[in-house]
Amino acid sequence: MPNRILILGCPGAGKGTQARQIAERFGIPHISTGDMFRSHMKKGTVLGKQIEDYMHTGQLIPDAVTCRMMVERLAEPDCANGYILDGFPRSVPQAIELDNMVVQRTEALGVVIALQVTDKEIVDRLTARRTCPKCGRIYNLKYEQPKIEGICDSEGCDAVKLVQRDDDTEATIRKRLAVYHRVTEPLLAYYAERGLRQDVMGENRTPDEIAAQIEKLLITDGKIV
């Protein structure tokens, strides 16, 4: 059965970290809308400039823009045998559009992983987050510091200084959380009603411990669900 997984959680819950591990573990593409948007911003496209304005004010990207990008991405050959979606859908209308996409392709979502983390923990995490402007690697000054203070550890990034993204300041984080609770959180009920949601505690555990919880949910008779 094709492996189609969705991971949900508020900003900073650890979706990206877990999605990358799942993608590597099971050999499916990790599709991150955040990465796609940042690529446009880095290239300075018209879309990228629009996206930058929305992200820096803590707002969501319009559904029409996001859904158009996802339709094109899911049509690519590497998605034929499954994928893990990270950052999409972010609203019930986007979820309905995703349902339409998979039905048109005679597919179905296998499971929706919901990472549970409190707002307080999210603010603490994100204000301590630093990013390498060259390779995109993310560190957290509380949990995962680089070997040399303020410098990326990745190969080829010698002497590259880590930066705090504009959207990782406390004021913007709280705006993003407010948007999440209003717009994205209803997805938890949406997928619970469809019998797809599986809650995973994303707090007071290491990333590896969280990954182990998720793997138990995904593995059945040695195969991904």
Q: What are phi and psi of 21, to 5 degrees?
A: -65, -40
pLDDT at 51: 82
pLDDT at 225: 53
Q: Is 1 helix (H, G, I), strand (E, B) or coil?
A: coil
Between 92-104 and 186-193, two packed helices, what is the crossing angle to 10 degrees? Answer: 40
> Per-residue confidence at 28, pLDDT binned at 50, 70, 90?
very high
Q: At 46, list the tokens.
A: 């018209």
Residues annotated as catalytic are 15, 90, 129, 165, 176
Quick check: 202 and 116 in contact, CB under 8 A? yes
Q: At 35, list the tokens.
A: 């990465």
pLDDT of 123 over the 60 cut = yes
Which of 41-50, 69-78, 112-121, 192-201 shows the lowest per-residue confidence on average (mean pLDDT)?
Answer: 41-50
User: Which position has the higher pLDDT, 98 or 37?
Assistant: 98
With a CB cutoff of 8 Å and minimum separation 6, the contacts of 143 are 125, 128
Domains and their CATH numbers in the chain: 3-118+169-224 (3.40.50.300)
> Per-residue confidence at 221, pLDDT binned at 50, 70, 90?
very low
- Over the stretch 143-198, which tens digit does the pLDDT of each residue have? 778 888 899 998 889 889 999 888 788 999 999 999 999 999 999 999 999 999 99
pLDDT at 106: 84
Calculate the alpha carbon distances from 189 to 91, 139, 198, 218 in Å: 12, 32, 11, 21
Calculate the alpha carbon distances from 178 to 50, 58, 60, 160, 201 in Å: 21, 9, 11, 33, 21
pLDDT at 56: 77
* Rounded percentage of the chain residues whose pLDDT exceeds 90: 44
pLDDT of 38 over the 50 cut = yes
Residue of 163, 177, 56, 59 lying closest to 123 (CA atoms): 177
pTM: 0.79
What's the chain's average pLDDT? 88
Sheet holding 3-8, edge to edge: 30-32, 82-86, 3-8, 111-116, 197-201
